[in-house]
């Protein structure tokens, strides 16, 4: 695994709360210098307007019950690498590479050791069948996996129980909001491919922030609300290639990188690094890229003030 990517571009973001600037690095697996990319979040921008509309409709829970039913229907297939969750299985090594690199850098861990996350308490929000929770546990983390679908949790527990390294994972059928009520806190909070399925992204991010210790880390991945994403993540993936069941995603539920950064900022999480995922149809593999036009992942830290 190559952990020596050069970070060759910086994402300039305006902090909409006070007009201050900060830098969020882009990852690249290329050693070639690329042009500077700038994404600006402005108080009068569409990103801000979208955030305000989301916030107006805030409820006590960010759950979207139709989405829960959708995933409950295919819960038995979580560990079928050729089933409906095949795209996540194929993407998992690349997601883990980003998580390993950013968390090790933030917490001062050695990314090259066998258990780089030893001593870290991590929660996997929207864990599904545990395809991310298990490798995190194998890397030494104390892992809690939570999902609102009971069937997902049963599948995750059953699969993790077959391996001593993963049998220690604490799986709970609950929500991020309920964990906040229980006053749970974690060194790192991870929510991959989850935020596009919740009813209230702003409320969801507030819960993620509340679960994070001061100075702790957050990793969130999702799909950009772009026309390219509509063409690839919905039309191609669901209707042409049949990688995913039809109706898995709603384009209107996607967030742009600017919107996600703004929502996280208002939840006291500062985005530090961002990367895109790019699929190579010739190799059948995903790689990290500076192209955040479709799938992207963000690393942030909770403010200490």
Under DSSP, the state recorded for 116 is T
Known binding residue 126? Answer is yes
> Positive or negative CA dihedral for 224, 225, 231, 235?
positive
Dist. CA 305–CA 73, nearest whole Å: 43
- Side-chain-side CA neighbours of 107 within 13 Å: the count stands at 25
CB 74 within 8 A of CB 245: yes
Q: Is 250 annotated as a binding residue?
A: no
Q: Is 19 annotated as a binding residue?
A: no
| 95 annotated as a binding-site residue | yes
Asked if 155 contacts 72 with a C-beta cutoff of 8 angstroms, the reply is no
Contact 220/192 with Cβ under 8 angstroms? Answer: yes
16 to each of 12, 130, 260, how far by Cα in Å?
12, 36, 13
Annotated binding residue 80: no
Half-sphere exposure of 305 (CA within 13 A, CB side): 4
Q: Consult the annotation and say whether 216 binds a ligand.
A: no
For residue 192, say whether it is annotated as part of any ligand binding site.
yes
User: If you search the block for the tokens 């100075």, which residue do you land on?
Assistant: 215
Question: Which residues are annotated as part of the binding site for S-adenosyl-L-methionine?
Answer: 95, 126, 147, 192
Binding residues for Mg(2+) are 193, 196-197
Could you tell me which residues are annotated as the binding site?
95, 126, 147, 192-193, 196-197
């Amino acid at each position: 695994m190559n952990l020596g990517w050069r970070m060759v571009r910086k994402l300039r973001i305006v902090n909409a709360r006070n007009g201050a600037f900060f830098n969020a690095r882009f990852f690249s697996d290329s050693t070639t210098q690329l042009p500077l990319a700038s994404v600006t979040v402005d108080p009068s921008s569409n990103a801000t307007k979208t955030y305000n509309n989301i916030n107006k409709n805030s409820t006590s829970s960010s759950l979207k019950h139709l989405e829960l039913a959708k995933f409950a229907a295919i819960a038995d297939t979580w560990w079928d690498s050729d089933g409906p969750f095949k795209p996540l299985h194929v993407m998992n090594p690349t997601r883990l590479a980003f998580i390993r690199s950013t968390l090790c850098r933030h917490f001062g861990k050695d990314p090259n050791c066998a258990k780089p996350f030893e001593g870290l308490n991590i929660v996997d929000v929207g864990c599904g069948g545990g395809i991310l929770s298990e490798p995190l546990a194998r890397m030494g983390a104390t892992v809690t996996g939570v999902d609102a679908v009971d069937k997902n949790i049963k599948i995750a527990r059953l699969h993790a129980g077959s391996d001593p390294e993963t049998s220690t994972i604490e799986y709970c059928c609950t929500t991020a909001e309920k964990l906040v009520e229980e006053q749970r806190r974690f060194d790192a909070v991870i929510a991959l491919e989850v935020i596009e399925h919740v009813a209230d992204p702003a409320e969801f991010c507030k819960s993620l922030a509340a679960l994070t210790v001061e100075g702790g880390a957050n990793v969130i991945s999702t799909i950009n609300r772009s026309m390219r994403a509509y063409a690839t993540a919905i039309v191609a993936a669901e209707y042409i290639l049949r990688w995913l069941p039809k109706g898995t995603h709603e384009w209107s539920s996607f967030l742009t990188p600017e919107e996600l950064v703004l929502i996280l900022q208002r939840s006291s999480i500062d985005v530090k690094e961002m990367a895109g995922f790019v699929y190579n149809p010739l190799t059948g593999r995903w790689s990290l890229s500076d192209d955040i036009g479709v799938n992207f992942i963000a690393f942030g830290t909770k403010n200490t003030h």
